[in-house]
Structure 1
Amino acid sequence: MASFSDLSSAKGLKELDTFLLTKSYITGYQASRDDLAVFGAMASAPSAKEYPHAARWYNHIKALLGESFPGQGKGVGLAGASAGASAPAAKMEVDDDSSDSDSDSDLDLFGEMTEEEKAAQEKKKAVIAAAKARAAEKEKKCKSLIVMDIKPWDDETDLKKMEEDVRAITYDGLLWGSSKLVTFAFGMKKLQMTAVIEDTKIPSFDEIIEKDILLLDEDEEVQSELVQSVDILSFNKL
């Protein structure tokens, strides 16, 4: 038998939290009427920070309300509370040897869901489904902003032609942005460009760099006569 002090006190919640440290349910290995009885004896949800195991159990049982509880309870007695009364401050005892009839008497406080409760539950399900749909739609539209340096082979490279060649690369989900020339080693200039990609349509921008920007002839894998290298400066989600 496991006993718990007043569940509205820190002592009682600590005892319950310790009891649930290695258990998922009050008795057995599936949700039962015992869990409902203990749940009903609590005034409010326990603090997840102070009583993580009790809070985990409480939220799980709360989520199951309105659904079936397949487990057969061993019996939960709420000492100090009459049957059918809500007893948030009562001393509670869990007796593995109690009869099912004792458990049933304690569970008089749990009636069938009212029409208002059913409507609230359906509304909650609809809200969750809508949130999931919005998240999925947002994932489809997720984009990334890329800033890259495109370096020429030497100072005689036609940078205007190099930029034209890069912008000529087209993919569904790829949009070339602004560009500018930046001076680097020994006074040479490189092309700095931005691009926006739709992540679901362009799974790998590295392939575009390797197969389209750096290669003059993809079939023969001949490197471009204009582009010496490409460096990604930043890759950020929009």
Structure 2
Amino acid sequence: MPCPLAETFQAQSIWTSKAQYADAERKFHTKVHVSGGVSEECTLVSEIAKARQHLKNSLERMDDIAALAGKDVLDRISALERENASLYQVVNELKKLQLQSENRIKSLEQSLAGVSIGDAPKPAVAAATVPNEDDVDLFDSDSEEEDDAIAKIREQRLAEYAAKKSKKPALIAKSNVILDVKPWDDETDMKLMEQCVRKIECDGLLWGTARLVPLAFGIHKLTISCVVEDEKVSIDWLTEEIEKNDEYVQSVDVAAFNKI
């Protein structure tokens, strides 16, 4: 026959109340003496022993957990202390930099104040008399003298700049021109025509290479290059001069015109 008290022990894994435990033990002994069963007593004793051991193991685990938790807390506290020390050092360095910056700003302000005071014009003070308010001229000549001095300096610098600019060689605008000189027919002497073209000379004109380019029916045109200064030589004038050789030249066309 199963023991109700044994079933009660099996249903509960941990005894948390000492009074409950003492009452259960008292009931157990009463039940044993009344029933006189040996096998039930042994089973109940075994269950109680198991319950005690389980309680002991649970307490030991709680101690271990508390020890680990305490170690973790200590580690965190140590890390926070190290971080606090580092932040304290950074704050001290920032304070030092701030003080240095303030000192530098003060020294600069003092130096600037000294320069402005030293450069300011000193007013003339009468030796024996104090000027009256009516005698004070709000439009004093000091400002006019300063304006005159600034104007003189500006004019001097402009003159120096103009002198330097006049010494620099002026850029000469030049162009590279290729002309197509066409003859009347295939019997035109192209060598004589080229010689006539090259006889045209003036300041700013420089003839270059020339070649014969076939057109049609045995007729060739003379393609000749030249370099001209834009201010001295006009292309219209040059073509007119070439076309004056009407014995050889039929027409002149500008094949290419490029600025150099």
TM-score band, normalised by shorter chain: 0.3 to 0.5
Q: Which has the higher strand share?
A: 1
What is the TM-score with the length of structure 2 in the denominator? 0.38
What is the TM-score with the length of structure 1 in the denominator? 0.42
Q: Which has the higher helix share?
A: 2
